[in-house]
A = this chain, B = another copy of it.
Amino acid sequence: MGSIDANPAAFEAFGATGVDGFQPLNAEDVRSYLHKSVDFIYDYYKSVESLPVLPGVEPGYLRRLLQSAPPTSSAPFDIAMKEVREAVVPGMTHWASPNFFAFFPSTNSAAAIAGELIASAMNTVGFTWQANPAATEMEVLALDWLAQLLRLPASFMNRSTGGAGRGTGGGVILGTTSEAMLVTLVSARDAALRRIGSDGVAGITRLTVYAADQTHSTFFKACRLAGFDPANIKSIPTGPDTDYGLDPAKLLEIMQADVDAGLVPTYICATVGTTSSNAVDPVGAVADVAARFNAWVHIDAAYAGSACICPEFRHHLDGVERVDSISMSPHKWLMTCLDCTCLWVRDTHRLTGSLETNPEYLKNDASESGTVTDLKDMQVGVGRRFRGLKLWMVMRTYGSAKLQEHIRSDVAMAKI
């Protein structure tokens, strides 16, 4: 394969021979730039503890340090690295610092960074199975592994269910919890519209969604993105009597009143580990209330879900077998660098029914056979990175015992 005459592109891009011209993926340059970057990262990790976590810069500082127009000529990679050291680092809020305690943790690991690096270099776009079988199958495998660590019911897993054939459950890795909320909200919305026999989306004004007032603001935003009526997005008050968790009796009362008023309860978001108060909504009890109204239940366990890989914390997910979907973000507490939000659903057809596209240029035998997962149909976009690799790398390299040790160590420190 490949000769100068037959395939000039090969030489332009990879520069395997002495052809003149621009070779942005010349393997020698790739190796050189990346080794330099690794040495920078080493120095950064060695020094970050001594840097102030919050930089003392004023808005607009970077523009005063770097040129305001793009250069015409190329420059050695060292120039960019010098500007990173001198202009970028001093303006960073150092999430990687051991002294960083703001927001929620953004934990990371050597294995995750390596996985992300390899994925960036391979740079595949695995929208369908065919577009990268390894990426799709690795994502599916990593999600099944993590589901096992979390002891999610088999109904959420992609794995073949033995003699009974493939189940309807499955997962996908998304960028943010907000996207997990959005795609499940849209699926629940469409199901509710069908259920009430809506003429197009006319019935949307009757659909209602629910969450405790401790729920992350991005949930209420996701509801608006999906077109729900602001008046029908119900924030349920909580208080110290339930440790700021959702009160199922109050939820039932509000939902019943809505039904009596002709509204259609469509979706409930239950949080395991809220952002402001770390409250835990009672998953099983919420699912029981939702079942009366045929409403979709989603669990947002973005941060605290990682803790549920430890048997002693797993009870926070009790009842998960009765919900429709659950998401959690290993980029928060399971040492997998941004971005990595895992979404599992009990019935992938409910997702793909709303999110599937089938353009001519993506048609292929594997997809039409129905034996493969095309992950584009479980997310907002079409393009997608090979995110499964880093998540698998973390579990493969560290193993569940070390991951549990990491969680327990953090919990113990929090108790001090």
Contacts and interface: CB of A to CB of B under 8 A. Distances in A.
A396 B79 contact: yes
Given A37-B114, A98-B7, A118-B41, A74 B109 contact: no
27 contacts: A2-B99, A7-B98, A8-B413, A10-B49, A14-B49, A22-B402, A29-B110, A34-B38, A44-B122, A55-B134, A59-B371, A61-B137, A62-B133, A63-B137, A77-B397, A88-B389, A91-B133, A93-B126, A93-B132, A93-B134, A95-B132, A106-B124, A106-B125, A178-B380, A200-B205, A275-B361, A380-B380
Interface in A40-93: 40-42, 44-46, 49-50, 54-55, 57, 59-63, 66, 68-77, 79-80, 83-84, 87-93
Chain A interface residue bracket vs B: 35 or more
Contacts of A89: 134
Interface stretch (A144-152, A250-258, A263-271, A291-299): A144-152
A103 B80 contact: no
A355 interface: yes
Given A69-B145, A134-B92, A217-B358, A99 B276 contact: no
A154 interface: no
A133 to B, nearest CB: 5
A315 to B, nearest CB: 21
CB-CB nearest 4 A-B residue pairs: A227-B227, A176-B381, A10-B98, A91-B134
A113 B120 contact: yes
A144 to B, nearest CB: 7
A339 B76 CA distance: 24
A71 B396 contact: yes
A375 interface: no
B27 A59 contact: no
A400 B221 CA distance: 39
B22 A409 contact: yes
A222 B183 CA distance: 11
A221 to B, nearest CB: 5
A84 to B, nearest CB: 7
